[in-house]
Structure formats: structure tokens, C-alpha cells
Structure 1
Amino acid sequence: MKSDRVLLASFVFAIASIASPEFFKFHISSASAENLSKPSSQIDSIENGKVQSVQDLRQVSTSASELLAETSTNLVQITGVKLNPTANGLEVALETTSSSISPPAPQTSGKLLYFDIPNAKLALPNSDRFLAENPADGIANVSVIQANASYVRVIVRGINAVPKAMVTTGNPNSVAQVSNEAKEEEEEITITGETDRKTTYREPNASTATRTDTAIIDTPQSIQVVPQQVLKDQQVVRVDQALRNVSGVTGELSGFSSAQSLTIRGFVTESFANIPILRDGFRTYSNLSPQETTNLERIEVLKGPASVLYGQADPGGIINLVTKQPLAKPFYDLQLQAGSFGFIRPSVDLSGPLDTDGNVLYRLNAAYQRSDGFRNFDTKSERFFIAPVVQWKISDRTKINFFLEYTNDQIPYDVGLPAFGRGVLDVPRDRILGERDDSLKSRAFSIGYKLEHQFDDNWKIRNAFRYSDQNLKVESTLPFIFNEATGTLARLYGRRELQSNDYSLQTDVVGKFETGSVKHTLLAGVDLNWSVFNDVFTKISRAQILPLNVFNPTYGLFSRPNFDTVPQLPESDTAISRTGVFLQDQIAFSDQLSVIAGIRFDGVTNRNTFAGTSRYDSAWSPRLGLVYKPIETVALFANYSQSFTPNVGQDVNGNFLEPEKAQGYEFGIKAELTKKLFATLSYFSITKQNVATPVSILEPSVSVATGKQQSQGIELDISGEIAPNWNLIASYAYTNARVTEDNSIPVGNRLPGSPYNSFGIWTTYQIPDGDLQGLGFGLGVNYVGNRTGDRENTYEVGDYFLTNAAIFYKRDQWRFGLNFNNLFNINYISGVGGTSRTFGNSPGAPFSVVGSIGIQF
């Protein structure tokens, strides 16, 4: 829209007519500040499909004479209500038995937008009303009720403001669908909330924290969302690039064995098995392949222990990648990106119906990516990704999604740089310490379904399955001793192949009910997982040591051995079965006070199929959270939660130790600074115990579960729209993460990779009108403080301050973008390994430019 103060939705009613069709439109401007500032006691709400406090609504006639006059006519039967997501909002379809409905005029009161349909009767087959909660962004609920004997009322409640509407009536053949059997016609309504989801930096709802679609302000735990628009504006192609927008998250999310690590609230996820990545709520326990961003709708980061809903996980938090789902209207998005270091990336996003009734929808995302990289490798980075999704609406109450993802990826195998003295080896950032043809190849395939059945307006069941198959091959030069006095790095040739199979089944029931004046949202479910990790072979050639002068390297001096003659290291194949049972209740005592209480039991059986050993671990994981809202736009929250992770440490008899466990508490405040700008400020304290620690320096392989680590800090996140066309996402974190008990590491040592201070700001502005309409600019900075490189704190990685910028132009269906990353070419270390001085410190990328051109229709 040209005006930055008018946000419109559209209600489209298709009316059958014998005469030539007529169209009429109602353009409604944004709600006035007077309406938006009403006290909550004057704002209408919808409960059980009825309007409460309706004194502000236009009252439908109830006098006996008028009712007699109305009921003397034949009432149009409304026999069905359908909700269909669209690219811009929501489509509501009313199925009627005739074509004599008069076009209704939209009316508003408080946050309500409502329509009165005269001479109509609600005749749904299984209910006397229709109610859908949170059907679209910006929409709290949609209700269709019988207002009196001859009026049907459609009520739409906005979350932050009254939805806006444009009403059009016309030829039904162009927009309505007709059932040949029942000869019914559909009245189509398209609804959009007060913001366009595709251009906003604020996501009001998130499902990761509760596994239900809950408003973030009503969630008693820190959760930050990186929406799709941020990914587009920053031209993000890696998940860790997006995570720089989230407080308390630093480092790199790299491939298996590449040694770089990610930290969340100070806890490092150095093991590939502990990387806390979910995809649509599914956990993959062995991440052998990269996480693609092409089909991501948004990224949700839940802070703190989260085992109550997801089982084993490190206590810092989890990352849920929410993927794009099929749309009811045809949608096509084609994009080409190209930039520095030979980077090129075409991608497509296609969606729409596959049948004339709109009951079968599809979405297809695909991308190809190639890059030479800024490091001095001959191996090119190359990736192909495709992800189709098909949704079948079996009935008004039942739908099923089938999905598939396939990734084929090749990157250089990069071990980074070693420590040198009290810092990191100071060499040019393109310097590599392996060989130029070192490579890491991975392939990942996953397939599954998600079935949802709505028993009625209050109860539903969900069942989902996902199978994942991953394969990884590494051919590399491995560093094992670095002589800092001579600058000589001793290396060995190695080759490895791994395979992982992962089966996950999730079933849960969600129900809403009341006990007196107290409202409940109950969640109960079972998670089953079985995963097999197969070390196909690991071979390291010890016959020849490959020295490299790190200050004056010469590559290609040695030939790779015939690995057929190299003996294989002992196998460590494992099969793990996991069973989780959970129960959660979201209890609303009033509009101001709510509580969430949950508990989960997990049983994990770990079998080493090669050694013939097994271990069973179990854990209870509770959570208790409280939200108090003194006013509608401010929430005070507090929570306590626990998590667990099976321990890989072994005692003197070779038995695995008790699982690592963690307890965390958090309290803070969430606030709508404006209707489109949201902030979260929190304090947290997390204690992790049963950390494996060596019995003594003389026996480093024998451990006891007595170690403890603690992380405390403050985090601030802000996202949304500062003013019309001016978006912002910003974060700050102070984190103090330390060892509090250990046999070998001094108490008080900082945890590796975790800075005391970090912050980031990214903002964009787009010119709304005039000759430069559609032209936009973006500017951002990121700061990460000093970090220790290992648990022993033998060296430190310096801080860095990056500046990024963008210029873009949007006009009609076209978008052009140009992003400038690391604008001042700062030399920095982006990620640390945390386990060894010999490798694992990853140089950050230099100044680079990425351009894009895209069309959407």
C-alpha cells in the first residue's frame, strides 16, 4: 500500500446472480489511536463463540415485530465454514445453500471486526457455532455464531489492533467453488491482520516453548524469533548467520568434526550429538549435514533447560527451525543470489492448490549453492537442496502433511587455527593447516508426515513421524601436535565414513476446558525415537607424519596413502532408543494471571552394538512458569525448569556415568513498547551438574560425575517496527559462565567460547512513497567480547566488532538487494573449538558483497 498508515485486509464475498455481476468495495483505514488505547475492560472478547461486553457493538434487532418480519422470509442456510491460509493472511469460506445473501458491511468495536449477515441461519452439521483460535498472524480468533433467529454474525478479533477490511462482491465463478452434489455455493472471505507477516520483524506467537500456538507475551520463558523477513533482508544462507540476531548465542554451527562450536547462554555444544537443533519440533540426534535455510519460515530460539517437551538437551536452550507450509493461493518466488568468492545461489519457492477444490495443496523449495570460499582450499563448496510438502485436507476437521527433504553437500574440511601462546596463531585468514584437497561430503534424506484431527472446537490430536538418513565422508589432514617454538605442525592423513539413521514418532493431544472461571490448555503426549549411529570406518595413517611450517607452508608434498592397507580403528557403533511421556497444563486464572506446569519422564537405552554393552538412563524433567500482566501490554514472568543429557564419560570399569542434569530459573519482563515493537528483558541462572571430570591427571580416561558448571546473566531482545517502514531487531547479553567444581580444571575458569558481553543491532528503512518509493537501506553491527579458547583457559580469543549494510529496492513484484558484510574488513575469530589448543579456531569471513534479484507473484 502506498500509505504507511493504512493497513488493509480483504473480505471477498462471491454472490451468485442471474443478472450480470456487480462489485462493491469498502476501504477501511487504520484504527484510530482512540480505539487502540481503550482500557482492557472496554475491549470485547470472544468466549465459547459468543461476544461478551457487546454494548459497543451494533445490536441486532430483537423486537417481536421485526423478528416476525425477518423470519417470514426464507433463511439462507450456512452449512460450513472453512479457513484457508493465504500468502497475505487468511481466507474464510462460508458454504451456503442459496445465493440470496446480502453483502454485509464491516463494523468495528475495540479489537473486533464483525459482519452481520441478515436472513441467514447457521446450520453446521456438528455444532451450533464455529470458533478458530489463532488462525493467522495478527488474528486472535474467528467466530461464526447465530446472533438471533435470523442473523448470523462473523466476528474477527485482532491481537494488537482491529483487523482492517476491504469488501468486494462479484461473479462467483471467478472466486467461489460450487459443489455439484449439494449445489452449494461458497462465500469467500479473505482476512489479514494488522501487519503483513512478510514484511514484519515481529512474530507475536511461537510454538516451541509450549508445543501449542501461544502468544510470546503469555509464555513464561525467554523465546526469540528470527522471522523470514530478517532472513531475506540480511540474505542469510546459514543458520548461525541468523542466530547473531539473538541474545546469548555466539559461535558457529559447523559440520561434524570441524571443531567449531556454538554457545547458548554460555554452554558450549561442542559435540555434534548435542547440537540443539530441531526442525518443526523434530530432533535429529546426529547432525552430520548442514541445516538449509531455503525453506525456513522462521527460527525460534528457546532459552534455558527445555527437556520437559523435547527430552535430552543441553541447558543453554534449543533452536527450532520452522519450515514453510503450503498456501491455498498460487504463490511463486524465484531468486538469484551472487557475490564474493565465487558465490552463486539460485532458489525457488512455489506453492498453491493441486486440485480444483483446494483440498490438496503443495509447497516446493529448492536451491543450488556454489562457492570458492575465502580460505585457500581447492575443494569448492557445493550444495543441492530440495524440499517438497503436500497437504491433504481430508475433511474440515482432518488434514495431513507429507514432507521430504534432500541435501547433498560438499565443503572443505577445515580444522581452523591452533592456539599460539596466550592467543590464536596470527597468520593471514586464508591460511589453511590441512591440504587443499581436504573435503567433507554429506548427504541427508528425510521423509515424514504430520496428521492433525480436530475432534471439536476444543480438542485435537496430532501425530507425526520423521525418518532421517545421513551419510558423511571425510578425507582430511589431521593436526595432532603443534610445536609453538618452531612453528611446525605435525599432521596425519585420515579418512572416515559415518552413517546415521533416525526414526521419530510424536503423538499428543491438546484440549481446552474450564474449571469454573479457570481456563486450561492441556497437552499430553508421547515421543518415541530410535537412532543408529554407524562408524562405517575410521582410518588414520600413522606410518607417515606430515610436517607443515605454519608461517611458510608448502602444500602437496605428500601423497595420500592407499587407505585399503590402513587398519581400521575400533568401531563404536551405537543404537539408542528414547521414550518420553509428558504432561503440561497452561492455566489462566484471569486475563492477568496464568501458570504453566509440566513434567516429563524420559527413558534412554544406549547400546554399543560392537562392544555388546548397554546402559539405561531415566530422568524426570519438570517445569513451572508464571505470567502476571499488570496491564495488557506488559507481562512479568518467572520459571523454573530442568534438563538432562546422557553422559559419555566412563568410570574405572568402563561404565558410562550418570546423566548430566541441569536446573535453571529465570525471571523478567516482556512488553509491547508499541503495537508493533516487542521487548524481552530477563535474568537467568543455570547450574549444570554430573559433568564428567577425570579422577586424576594420571588417569585422564577415567572419570567421575562430580563436575559442575554455572551460567548467570542478563539478556535483552527487541524486535519489530519502530515507525512505519522502519524495522529493528536488536539484542544484548551479559553472560558469566564458569566452572564451579572439577577435579582437574580450576574452579572459576570461564567456559570456552562464551563472552561476558555481546550485542547486535540490525535495522532497515524503506521509503514509502514519492519518486524513490520502494528504495530501502539496512545497517547493522555485531559485537562479541573476549572468549576463552578451552576449559583450562590457557588462551584467549579476542573480541570483534562487525558492521554490515544493505541497500534494496522493491517495486511491484520485483526485489533487488545488495548486502555488504564485514564492511571494514575486520580480522576476527568467529568460533572456537573448546577442546584443544591444536585446532578449532575458525577465522571469520572478510569483507564480502552479496547481490540478489527476485520476483514474487
Structure 2
Amino acid sequence: MKINFTKPLILINLLGLICLNVFAQQRTTLQGTVKDSHGITIAGVTVSVHGTNTTTTTNNRGIYKLQLIQGKAVVHFNFIGFKEVVKNLDLNGTDVAENIVMQESTDDLQQVEITGRKEKTYKTKATFIGKIENELKDIPQSVSYASKELIADQGLMRVGEVVKNFSGVNQFSFYDDLTIRGFRVNGQSNTQLLNGLRTSTGFWKQSLANYLERVEVLKGPSSALFGNASPGGVVNRVTKKPLDETRRSVSLTMGSFNTFRGLADFTGPATKDSTLLYRLNLGYENAETFRDLMFDRNFVIAPSLTFVPSEKTRINFDLVYTDSKSRLDRGQPIFGSFDLNSTPQSLSLNTTNDYLNELTYNATISITHKLTNNLSLNVSYLKTGYSENLNEHRTSNAYGVDANGAPINDLAGMNVQIRKRKRFIDNFSGYINYTPKTGIIEHKIVAGYDFGSEKTPVGGWQLTAGGYRNAANSGAIASYVPANKSKYLLDAAGNPVPNVPHFNLNDPLSSQRMQDDSKLFFTQSIVAPTYYYLNSGYVQDQFKIGALQVLAGIRYEYYTDFAGYKTQAEAKANSHAWLPRLGAVYSINSNINLYGSYVEGYNPQTSANIANPNAGGPFDPLKSNMVEFGTKTSWFRDQLTVSAAVYQIKQTGALYATPGVVDVLRQIGDEQSRGFELDVIGKIMPNWNVIASYSYNRAKILESGTVGEIGIQKPNAPKNTANLWSRYTFIEGVAKGLGIGLGINYTDRRNLIYDAKFSPENQITIPSFTLFNAALFYNIGKLQLQLNANNIGNKKYWVGGYDYLRLFPGQPENYMFTVGYSF
């Protein structure tokens, strides 16, 4: 049978021609030029079509071009510092030329961060960290930040990784544990901020950062704004808020260390009149690490709702819930010869039956109501809950000893800890924003009341096994004393037998296997319940006279801690402080501001707010002050900012580890930090983003009972750091849609915590390092492909450390591939 294909082929060709013709008729080219009111073209304007994912930006000549479907279209033109332009167009198939003139914006600032940020850039113009929205250039203190766009481009998932972009900020350890301008800041103390409200984190494991809009650091003591805090600065995590336009995206990441990660972000109006907006961020991670026996199983759900019943009132609800399952990584141990290369960086002291399960939630409700055109009331409440379930084999912070008490340098002393505990934090903040004008003086007045509390409730407990076995092998003695050798169980060589077998650094595999802990001698203790609360009142005025802005504020902090909480010996311990904040900003012109400031800090150090309630004390409160001068400038039509600062911070009363004693702290005298910082962030061209920083920091101990500590650089405080990241995206030609990212990170050598048992020349110092990172991006319509390459060249380095048994190595060379889809 002969089959005739001629007619079907002719029909197919005709249908193809018809489809091509219909398609051609349905597509319209929209193009034009965007200028300001002075006729100067504007590069980098975002041009988007409402209800679609069609978007572009104007090129260096202010020209834009879009391919649109025939019919009605609502086109938005947005650029920071200018009023939005909206064009309703009826596209009939003919190419359309639409030239746009944008007017500079004089709109009032929104005062509280309750609506989402629509911009998709590295640069942020304003912050709410001072309880009122301020342009960053008008704040008389240094502020470093990273937007969600920068975080995504670098493929980062932890705040500890993000801070590499900030001047004067670096990691202290694997945990939520940072150094800012030479002073330690950790997430376990109630001095972290979430949307400007006081909270803490689980500390041991940092959660995914996919729900964050940005991470920002206000440098220097911030007690006048937030109460007790580190003198180096305060970290504020800003969550993503709902938008009044629909945006949806999902992404999958796979790569080194058997990483699998899925993220989703959905936002938009929940009602037709947009009085109710929603946002939902989801995150799931299942990954190993380069460290032995370590893994991360994380789940994050972060819903947010904004209710806008009227133009004067906004109500916002946020929840961030994280479920983390992992093991607690205490770091890399090395031999007692103090050779950093004596063990592999992958080595951990854990066993296969260790676990760390953490649940954390942060629930926030915020209300803002505009009473008049220049007076608004703001009320926020944040509830934090944390639960920990831990089983770990960890270092005792010392090597095993022989019969004479001398260290055996290849045997790490071990403890076993099994612990359950909870922690709850409440934070209420109520304040008014008042912006009157008296004659030629413009005011921004903030006045309010804060209440904060933290409680470790009854019910926490801990089992601890450590020390050396007694002669009858019926119990354990905390430490070995050679003069009392007859009291201890001895092995064939005459050495004391440890309660928990030492970790053999020459044979780690035998020590990492599952251990039978039933044969250990445990001591049981309660996790001491703790409770403190604070009441604070404050007032601040930032007034403007011509080119000069002066900021003056005062806060009164009354702190109440319960010593022996929930015991018969319970007693209140009170402390209080007046905390001033002074600053001035002078505008030489619209692009250059000079500033100076003086601030004081205060942080009680009691059983309720130090990391370990059994660490000792009582301790005197930390007191600090800072003097800072700097300049903030903007370039390329405010698309690129360059800031520089010099500062001096003084602090007295810091707590340091006691050599040779687990978890017990000691208090030293004065410390001083002096330095210089430079930060660059923004766009050089519409398609060329950059962030760069440099810092010099001389942070030293001035007074201490340990003579060898005086004058040395403070622990984990590098003198020099420098960072650069740049992304260039091709917007024209055959390479359109392709992006290239390149980064360099340099960190100077650092001292670890000084141990008085060894001479200063034996102090452990981790070396300087330079890392190279890169990324490739490719957009195909709604689909984005991304490849991140980190630590190219496989540089061996350490992000921080505590001592010779707790070093924290950085990741070796690794690659992550991400597929993202927006719809």
C-alpha cells in the first residue's frame, strides 16, 4: 500500500505559517528612553509588566526594550529616589515607543518596616534599625548590610557566611558566634535582633537564611537603642515581608558534601482589594559536611501576613519556625605539639551515637497607626521559644595525663554530656514617631518603652561523665592529682584511667565508633532555672537645621535578675544605667555626608544572660563607650555608596575562659579597639553590582591578671580583612542573560584564647588566608541556572577557634548548582 505524504506535509506547513503569523501579530516591541525632570537619562530603571514576570532594566543610555503580547498591559517604572511611573498601554501589534520622565521622590518615609522591599539590588537606601526609618547616609554610625540578592548570588545559607562581606566582622567559630570590631557577639546571649526586637538563636546550629530580606550590623555599642549589647555592634536579621504584587519562586540546590536543598518563596495579595497580603517562605536541607560524622537536616517555615484596614493602619504577623537535626561539632583537635597540620581538618571528636535536635520559633505581631500626618504609634511583641535535646562526646578542653600529671599529647581528654533544656524570651516595644517642624528645625523624635525578659524554666537537666576513675572503680574524680595517686584506678603503665576513654588522635576511627556509655559514671545536675527582665524608657531627637543634623538620645535601663531562681535562696539582684547617644551629620552636598558620634554600652553579666549559668560569678557588668568619625558618600546617581569610618571602643569587665577548667569564666580589666573601615556597595553600571570592604582593627587587652595577655591582639580579631564580590550580567547581544560573579576574601592571622599553662610563644595562632570564589548565572525566561564555586584552589584555612582542641576549619573547595524558577 502506497501512502501519500504530500497533503499532510502541505497542511502542516500551512498550519505552521498560520501559527507563526498569529504569533507575530501577538507580539509587540515596547521601547523607549527614561529621563529625569532635567532631561538626563537614568540607567538601571526597573521596567516590569504587572501580572507577569516580564521585566528589564534601562541600559547605560537609559534605553529599555521589551517584547510583549498584544493586548492591554500595565507597565511599571521604578527607580530608587524617584516616584513610580505607571503606564496603561493598549498594544495592537504595532511597535510602540514610550519615553518616560521620572520625578524625584519627596514622599515621607514609612517609619516602620512592615511592608516588603520591592527592589532587587545589592544596595539598600534606608534602614529601620533606629526605631524610625532613616536613610543610611543620615545615621551617625557605621552600618554594614547584605541584601537577599547578594546572599542568593553568593549561594549563602548561614548568617555566619554572610558576614564575610562586612568590614570589621568575622566568624569566631562554627556557631552563631561573631567578632565585630574585635569584640565577641554570640547568638546565645539575648542581644541579637530580629526586625529590631531582642531575641537569641539556638547558637549551636545556624538556621537557613532563605526567609531573610537582609542582614545588617550596626557598629559600636547600641545600648541606647536596644539595652544590653556587645560593644562591637549588634546584628539585626530582617525577615521578608508581604508584597502587594504577586511573586512566586522555587529553587533546588545540589552539590558538594551530598547537599540537597529546596527553597520556596510566595507572596502577593490574599484579597482582591489588597487589604490582606501574604508571604510564605519554605526551606528544606539535607546535607553532609566535610567534617567527620557531621550532617544537617533542617526545615524552615516562615509565613507572614500584613493586614491593611486603612491607609493609616497596618498590622503584621510573622512566624519563623525551624526544626534542626544534626550533631554538635566542637571543632578540630590537634596534637599537643600545637602543629595545626598534625591532624586532618575533617577530624571531629564525636561518635556515631551523638545527636543534637533543636526546635526554635520566633512569633511577632507589629501594629503601626498613623494618628496624624506627623505622629504615629508603633507596638511590637516578639515571642521566642527554644528547645534543645543533646547527646555529645566532646573534649574536656585538656589532654590526657600520665602518672606524673604531664599531658599525653596524642590523647584528647573526653567528656560525655546528655542534656535537655528550654529557653523563652519575651520582647515588647512600644514607641511613638513624631516629626514636627519648629521654625527652620525639622525633628525626628522617637520616645518609647521596652520590656524584655528571658527565662530558663524548671525541668532542664544534664548528665555529665568526665574525670578519672577512683581506685575502687565505683565512681569518678573530676581531676587527677599526682600526689594522691593511690585514690585513682591506674592502668598497667601506672597512668590514671579516664572515666570516658581518651580520644586517640593516632587512631581516630576506633574512637569515633559507637560507644557504650552505660559503663560510664555520670553525675546528674539540673540546668539551673534562670529569669531576668528589664524595663527601659528612652527618648531621642534627630533634628535638622539646613545641612546639619544632630542626634541626641538617652535611655534608662533597669535590669532585674533572680539569683537562685526557683530555689529557697531566691533573691532579686538589680542594676541600672543611663545610656546616652550623641551624633551629628553634616551634608557637604547631596552626595557627601560627614558624621561623628559618641555612644555608651552596658551589659549585665549574670547567671541569666551568660552562655553557661554554671560559669561562675557574680561578675560586674560590662561597660563600654565608642567615639567614631566617618563619611558616607554616593555616586552614579546614588546607585553606589562609599563609606569610611575611624573609631575607638573601650570596654571593661570582659569574661574569658579559665585555663584548664571546663566552662568556668574569669573577668579581666580594660580592653581597647581602634580601627579604620571602608565599605563600597551598589552598582557601577545597571548590570554591574559590587560590594567591597576593608578594615584595620587593633584590638588589645590592656589589663589582666594573666600578664601574658596584656598587649596582645584579642582572640579571633584579625588586624586586617578585605573582601570583594562583583557580578556582571550581559543584557545585550548573544550573551544576553549570562552573568559572571567573582569574589576574593582576605583575613589576617588571628590569636586564639591565651592559655596561661603555656608560655606566650606557644600561643596558638591561626594563619591568614585568601579565598577565591566565582559564580555563573544564566537566565532563560523564568528559569535561572546558577553554579557557585567556593574556595577555588582548595586553600587550607580556619574560620576561628577557641584553643588547641577546638579549632574551626573552613570548607575546602566545593561546588553548588542551583535551578530556580519564577512564576
Tell me by how many angstroms 1:551 deviates.
Answer: 3.1
Q: Aligned to 2:121, which of 200, 208, 212?
A: 200
Name the CA shift for 1:807/1:36 in 2 (closer, same or farther; >3 Å).
Answer: closer
Tell me the distance in 2 between the aligned counterparts of 1:614 and 1:540: 30
Name the CA shift for 1:332/1:571 in 2 (closer, same or farther; >3 Å).
Answer: closer
1:482 aligns with 2:373: no
Name the CA shift for 1:430/1:89 in 2 (closer, same or farther; >3 Å).
Answer: farther
Aligned to 1:51: none
What's the secondary structure of 1:568's corresponding residue? strand
| Residues 711-766 of structure 1: CA deviation (Å, up to 9, x unaligned) | 11001110011123111100111111100112224321221000111111000100
Is contact 2:456–2:530 with CA below 8 Å preserved after alignment? yes
| Residues 517-571 of structure 1: CA deviation (Å, up to 9, x unaligned) | 0000100111111211247111112352211221331235663324998331254
1:624 aligns with 2:582: yes
Tell me the distance in 2 between the aligned counterparts of 1:272 and 1:442: 14
Tell me by how many angstroms 1:634 deviates.
Answer: 0.3
Aligned to 2:672: 710
What's the secondary structure of 1:357's corresponding residue? coil
Q: Aligned to 1:512, which of 401, 423, 435?
A: 435
Greater shift, 661-670 or 393-402, is seen at: 393-402
| Residues 473-521 of structure 1: CA deviation (Å, up to 9, x unaligned) | 1111121122565411121222111200111111110011011100001
Aligned to 1:852: 818
Is contact 2:329–2:350 with CA below 8 Å preserved after alignment? yes
The residue correspondences of 1:421-440 to structure 2 (distance < 5 A) are 421=337, 424=340, 426-440=342-356
Name the CA shift for 1:691/1:843 in 2 (closer, same or farther; >3 Å).
Answer: closer
| Residues 239-260 of structure 1: CA deviation (Å, up to 9, x unaligned) | 111110000111156448xxxx
Aligned to 1:539: 463
Tell me the distance in 2 between the aligned counterparts of 1:397 and 1:90: 26
Tell me by how many angstroms 1:163 deviates.
Answer: 4.8
Tell me by how many angstroms 1:602 deviates.
Answer: 1.0
Tell me the distance in 1 between the aligned counterparts of 2:223 and 2:578: 9
| Residues 375-400 of structure 1: CA deviation (Å, up to 9, x unaligned) | 110x5310010011111112221111
Tell me the distance in 2 between the aligned counterparts of 1:563 and 1:606: 40
Tell me the distance in 1 between the aligned counterparts of 2:165 and 2:393: 34
1:636 aligns with 2:594: yes
What's the secondary structure of 1:609's corresponding residue? coil
Q: Aligned to 1:501, which of 410, 424, 429?
A: 424
**1:321 counterpart letter in structure 2:** R
Greater shift, 421-430 or 805-814, is seen at: 421-430
What's the secondary structure of 2:380's corresponding residue? strand
1:241 aligns with 2:157: no
Aligned to 1:120: none
Is contact 2:212–2:237 with CA below 8 Å preserved after alignment? yes
1:780 aligns with 2:785: no
Tell me by how many angstroms 1:90 deviates.
Answer: 11
Q: TM-score, normalised by structure 1?
A: 0.75
What's the secondary structure of 1:30's corresponding residue? strand
Aligned to 2:234: 318
Q: Which runs of 5+ in 1 are unaligned?
A: 1-22, 38-85, 92-135, 140-158, 172-188
Q: TM-score, normalised by structure 2?
A: 0.78
Aligned to 1:29: 34
Aligned to 1:559: 515
Q: Aligned to 2:645, which of 646, 659, 682?
A: 682
**1:548 counterpart letter in structure 2:** F
Aligned to 2:60: none
Aligned to 1:43: none
Aligned to 1:211: 131
What's the secondary structure of 2:351's corresponding residue? coil
Tell me the distance in 1 between the aligned counterparts of 2:201 and 2:448: 24
Greater shift, 745-754 or 541-550, is seen at: 541-550
Tell me the distance in 2 between the aligned counterparts of 1:558 and 1:405: 35
Tell me the distance in 2 between the aligned counterparts of 1:561 and 1:598: 56
Is contact 1:741–1:747 with CA below 8 Å preserved after alignment? yes
| Residues 145-181 of structure 1: CA deviation (Å, up to 9, x unaligned) | xxxxxxxxxxxxxx3xx5573522679xxxxxxxxxx
**1:413 counterpart letter in structure 2:** L
Tell me by how many angstroms 1:296 deviates.
Answer: 0.8
Tell me by how many angstroms 1:614 deviates.
Answer: 3.3
Aligned to 2:149: 229
What's the secondary structure of 1:242's corresponding residue? helix
1:302 aligns with 2:218: yes
**1:506 counterpart letter in structure 2:** S
The residue correspondences of 1:100-111 to structure 2 (distance < 5 A) are none
Is contact 2:338–2:804 with CA below 8 Å preserved after alignment? no
Tell me the distance in 2 between the aligned counterparts of 1:396 and 1:564: 66
Aligned to 2:15: none
| Paired positions, count | 691
Tell me the distance in 2 between the aligned counterparts of 1:431 and 1:564: 24
Tell me the distance in 2 between the aligned counterparts of 1:564 and 1:465: 46
Is contact 2:140–2:596 with CA below 8 Å preserved after alignment? yes
Q: Which runs of 5+ in 2 are unaligned?
A: 1-27, 52-76, 92-100, 107-116, 401-406, 467-475, 477-498, 611-615
Tell me the distance in 2 between the aligned counterparts of 1:326 and 1:87: 21
Tell me the distance in 2 between the aligned counterparts of 1:35 and 1:669: 27
Tell me by how many angstroms 1:370 deviates.
Answer: 0.8
Name the CA shift for 1:406/1:692 in 2 (closer, same or farther; >3 Å).
Answer: closer
Aligned to 2:329: 414
Tell me the distance in 2 between the aligned counterparts of 1:472 and 1:363: 28
| Residues 111-156 of structure 1: CA deviation (Å, up to 9, x unaligned) | xxxxxxxxxxxxxxxxxxxxxxxxx9855xxxxxxxxxxxxxxxxx
Tell me by how many angstroms 1:838 deviates.
Answer: 3.1
Tell me the distance in 1 between the aligned counterparts of 2:369 and 2:777: 43
Aligned to 1:156: none
**2:275 counterpart letter in structure 1:** N
| Residues 669-700 of structure 1: CA deviation (Å, up to 9, x unaligned) | 11113221101110010000133589x99999
**1:630 counterpart letter in structure 2:** I
**2:523 counterpart letter in structure 1:** P
Aligned to 1:180: none
Is contact 2:47–2:78 with CA below 8 Å preserved after alignment? no
Aligned to 2:20: none
Tell me by how many angstroms 1:320 deviates.
Answer: 0.7
Tell me the distance in 2 between the aligned counterparts of 1:700 and 1:427: 23
Greater shift, 557-566 or 804-813, is seen at: 557-566
1:609 aligns with 2:565: yes
Aligned to 1:78: none
Aligned to 2:243: 327
Aligned to 2:684: 722
1:400 aligns with 2:333: no
Is contact 2:194–2:238 with CA below 8 Å preserved after alignment? yes
Q: Aligned to 1:758, which of 718, 721, 727?
A: 721
What's the secondary structure of 1:217's corresponding residue? helix
Aligned to 1:521: 444
Is contact 2:190–2:198 with CA below 8 Å preserved after alignment? no
Tell me the distance in 2 between the aligned counterparts of 1:515 and 1:617: 38
**2:151 counterpart letter in structure 1:** L
Tell me by how many angstroms 1:272 deviates.
Answer: 4.8
**1:776 counterpart letter in structure 2:** G
Name the CA shift for 1:328/1:477 in 2 (closer, same or farther; >3 Å).
Answer: same
Is contact 2:269–2:278 with CA below 8 Å preserved after alignment? yes
| Residues 392-435 of structure 1: CA deviation (Å, up to 9, x unaligned) | 11222111111222110012211112464455353222111222
Is contact 1:423–1:796 with CA below 8 Å preserved after alignment? no
Tell me by how many angstroms 1:316 deviates.
Answer: 0.4
Tell me the distance in 2 between the aligned counterparts of 1:540 and 1:847: 37
Aligned to 2:385: 469
Name the CA shift for 1:225/1:557 in 2 (closer, same or farther; >3 Å).
Answer: closer
The residue correspondences of 1:731-750 to structure 2 (distance < 5 A) are 731-745=693-707, 746-750=709-713
Tell me by how many angstroms 1:30 deviates.
Answer: 3.3
| Residues 169-219 of structure 1: CA deviation (Å, up to 9, x unaligned) | 679xxxxxxxxxxxxxxxxx999989x9644221111121x2211111111
What's the secondary structure of 1:241's corresponding residue? helix
Name the CA shift for 1:814/1:749 in 2 (closer, same or farther; >3 Å).
Answer: same
Tell me the distance in 1 between the aligned counterparts of 2:659 and 2:269: 65
Is contact 2:122–2:689 with CA below 8 Å preserved after alignment? yes
Tell me the distance in 2 between the aligned counterparts of 1:192 and 1:388: 34
**1:536 counterpart letter in structure 2:** G
Tell me by how many angstroms 1:586 deviates.
Answer: 0.8
Aligned to 1:578: 534
What's the secondary structure of 1:555's corresponding residue? helix
